[in-house]
Structure 1
Amino acid sequence: MQALQFTATGSLDHLGLVDLPRPVPAEGELLVRVEAAGLNPSDVKNVLGRFPYTTLPRVPGRDFAGVVEQGPAEWVGRPVWGTGRGPGFTRDGAHARYLAVPAGGVAVKPQALSFVQAASLGVPYTTAWDAVERCVVAAGTTFLVLGAKGAVGSAALALAKVRGARVLAAVRRPEQAQALRDQGFEVLLLAAPEQLAAQVQAIWPGGAEVIFDTTGFWLPAAVSALAPFGRVGIIAAPADGMVAFPALALYRKGGVLVGVNSLLYDTVQCAAMLRQFGADFDRGVLPVPQHIRAVPLGNALGQYRAVEAGSSEKVVLVP
């Protein structure tokens, strides 16, 4: 079968298109014919060596959608989607024609989503789901998303809206702000970090109960804009991992800092998340993703390099 594989880390030069034997599913596993596989920044970082637990040689790729070809009878022929820790890191991933996964590590694909659409959502939506769950976003919660136009930020807005939260989307560029307003969101156009507290207070006196920083650069400012007993969720940090953090300000507000890392969840745990919010796509209360570029797997190397160079375009690889 056609697959991407890397045999060393540190450079995308180690990633190549190869022909591999079709995986043989073990007892309790499924063989999925991959119809589409998402390309995420973490897939690129994996080849670059940012995940020390990755074993080699390895086929990358966390997010997938496809059809079960082998496994328990109740699964064969069913369209599924999945994501989670394991594929691409400690076992071969989804950037291939076939993928073997635990039988509990997939969910039935929502009928409202095509394979390409479903494959684009795994990491962004499970990350956002973890954030809104662990930051306790519920009906009436004032919820500010910093970097709201990115994949995770957009997912967090949508999931929080379904829960009935009072959502505020924060972005830096006017064209991003207008696009979000067109989708019905209240928008804050970010200025300097030291102005964030005043900007939020002008909309929500007392501050935001939950702030989700998807950028890695607004954490100190987020603490200043937080309501008493509020929660700040983070998914990223500067490249060196260090932030000058206002611990005293967080302490005085009784605040909580929540680290959100989707790689803490295996495919079985992620499948449980997919089942929960997947039903909302079929109910029509979550937006079907648009503006996805489907690229043949044979042309994937160029897409990996584009992500390394900073591209935020959502790309799905199609075997």
Structure 2
Amino acid sequence: MDTRNARDGYVAGTARKPTMQAVVFDEYGGADVLRLAQLPLPSPARGEVRVRVRAAGVQPADCATRTGWFARRGIGHSPFPRQLGNEFAGVVEAVGKGVAELAAGDEVLGWTRANAYAETVVVPAEQLVRKPLMMSWAVAGALSASGQTAHAAVQALDIAPGDTVLVHGAAGGVGTIAVQLARLRGARVIGTASRDNHDYLRSLGAEPVLYGTGLAERVRQLAPHGVQAALDASGRGALDASIALGIAPSRIGTLVDVEDVERLGVNAQRSRERLQALVALHEAGRLRVHVRDIYPLANAAAAHRDVENGHGRGKVVLMIYTPFGHAS
């Protein structure tokens, strides 16, 4: 009798296709719609890599997808059950034909499209970079998507030395990175956040301001000579305040306001080069990635509630603790 158990892909000595655990949802709704499911273990095609996931970042966009916010606006609906997660880090488990730069056992981080909350993920090799030895798994899992979005935004807004930049939602995952990247370009940064996060923003080199009614006037008091650019990573009337400050529309970007995304949206084009630049900054000690909470994969619902609270700083991460080399 074969002694391997069901986690190794066998039941009562009868072979079956190996599977993995992943978080899925079968309908739009609150965090409780998330559940663990057994899905077929994916195999890498030519040019692809299968990664055993160690950490996956949780983003506000994941929560919006789960609630059907995007689907109600005609964006990104696909059949149920659906998966979530756009950024991850892990260990290469298998490579497809034509992949020469990576091999089994390599530690990597990268990005994907709505399937990172899982024990394994398959992506094109060009969506991966090597994880530095001293970068923690949690940080690596939290960097790829949020970091590239922030990097693209700062680039698109043409932030330059001497600019005063307003970052709405500056304490969040994207905002935290955007503040630092703008500062590295020599800009002065004013960041909106709840009062509890003001000291945190100061530690990043930003000048904090409370969001909400009267925001434009509070910013004018801090920057009487004007603000040159603004990035909206929070909503909450941020675009109206930015326009009221007289910022040129070409230098206002939004990541959250679908109604204005065609006019003011940031095209967060991801690339291996962009991610590698962010990794290099972190490795050099010039870019901080703050992870405020870590949850196991089975507690994805709790992680979503944490993110939806809306006042936390930095990132929330799912950690996957399954042994390397074993399918469920």
Which 5+ residue runs of structure 1 have no aligned equivalent? 244-256
1:220 to 229, 233, 240: 240
Cα deviation for residue 19 of structure 1 reads: 1.8
In structure 2, C-alpha distance between the alignment counterparts of 1:300 and 1:208, rounded to whole Å: 39
2:82 to 58, 83, 91: 58
In structure 2, C-alpha distance between the alignment counterparts of 1:242 and 1:228, rounded to whole Å: 18
Cα gap change, 1:218/1:13 in structure 2, threshold over 3 Å: closer, same or farther?
A: closer
Structure 1 match to 2:13: none
Cα gap change, 1:185/1:67 in structure 2, threshold over 3 Å: closer, same or farther?
A: same
Cα deviation for residue 293 of structure 1 reads: 2.1
C-alpha contact (below 8 Å) 1:110/1:281 kept by paired residues: no
TM-score normalised by length of structure 1: 0.80
In structure 2, C-alpha distance between the alignment counterparts of 1:32 and 1:228, rounded to whole Å: 43
In structure 2, C-alpha distance between the alignment counterparts of 1:222 and 1:50, rounded to whole Å: 24
* Identity score, percent: 36
Question: Structure 1 residue 163 and structure 2 residue 185: aligned?
Answer: yes
**What secondary structure is seen at the aligned counterpart in 2 of 1:3?**
strand
Structure 2 match to 1:140: 162
**What secondary structure is seen at the aligned counterpart in 1 of 2:62?**
helix
Q: What stretches of structure 1 move > 6 A for 4+ residues in a row?
A: none
Structure 2 match to 1:43: 62
C-alpha contact (below 8 Å) 1:208/1:230 kept by paired residues: no
Structure 1 match to 2:11: none
Structure 2 match to 1:180: 201
TM-score normalised by length of structure 2: 0.78
Q: Deviation per CA, 1:184-243, whole angstroms, max 9, x where unpaired?
A: 4333345733x62x4434443431111122221121221122356861111223xxx668
In structure 1, C-alpha distance between the alignment counterparts of 2:316 and 2:248, rounded to whole Å: 40
Cα gap change, 1:224/1:277 in structure 2, threshold over 3 Å: closer, same or farther?
A: same
Cα gap change, 1:226/1:37 in structure 2, threshold over 3 Å: closer, same or farther?
A: same
In structure 2, C-alpha distance between the alignment counterparts of 1:114 and 1:309, rounded to whole Å: 25
Question: Which amino acid in 2 is paired with 1:294?
Answer: I
C-alpha contact (below 8 Å) 2:232/2:255 kept by paired residues: yes
Q: Deviation per CA, 1:253-284, whole angstroms, max 9, x where unpaired?
A: xxxx631264xx4xxx3433211222111111
Q: Deviation per CA, 1:130-181, whole angstroms, max 9, x where unpaired?
A: 21011101222221212222222111101111122222223342x3223322
In structure 2, C-alpha distance between the alignment counterparts of 1:113 and 1:185, rounded to whole Å: 24
Cα gap change, 1:179/1:303 in structure 2, threshold over 3 Å: closer, same or farther?
A: closer
Cα deviation for residue 82 of structure 1 reads: 1.4
Question: Structure 1 residue 284 and structure 2 residue 285: aligned?
Answer: yes
In structure 2, C-alpha distance between the alignment counterparts of 1:307 and 1:176, rounded to whole Å: 15
Question: Which amino acid in 1 is paired with 2:184?
Answer: V
C-alpha contact (below 8 Å) 1:44/1:308 kept by paired residues: yes
Larger Rg: 2
Question: Structure 1 residue 209 and structure 2 residue 228: aligned?
Answer: yes
**What secondary structure is seen at the aligned counterpart in 1 of 2:228?**
strand
In structure 2, C-alpha distance between the alignment counterparts of 1:192 and 1:9, rounded to whole Å: 32
Structure 2 match to 1:251: none
Cα deviation for residue 65 of structure 1 reads: 0.4
Structure 2 match to 1:15: 34
Which 5+ residue runs of structure 2 have no aligned equivalent? 1-19, 321-328
In structure 1, C-alpha distance between the alignment counterparts of 2:305 and 2:199, rounded to whole Å: 30
In structure 1, C-alpha distance between the alignment counterparts of 2:171 and 2:30, rounded to whole Å: 29
In structure 2, C-alpha distance between the alignment counterparts of 1:113 and 1:171, rounded to whole Å: 27
Deviates more, 1:223-232 or 1:113-122: 223-232
Matches of residues 1-319 of structure 1 in structure 2 within 5 Å?
A: 1-10=20-29, 12-52=31-71, 53-56=76-79, 57-71=81-95, 72-76=99-103, 77-84=105-112, 87-88=113-114, 93-173=115-195, 175-190=196-211, 192-193=213-214, 196=216, 198-216=217-235, 217-227=237-247, 231-237=251-257, 258-260=264-266, 262=268, 265=269, 269-287=270-288, 289-308=289-308, 310=310, 312=312, 314-319=315-320
In structure 1, C-alpha distance between the alignment counterparts of 2:273 and 2:294, rounded to whole Å: 26
Paired positions, count: 289
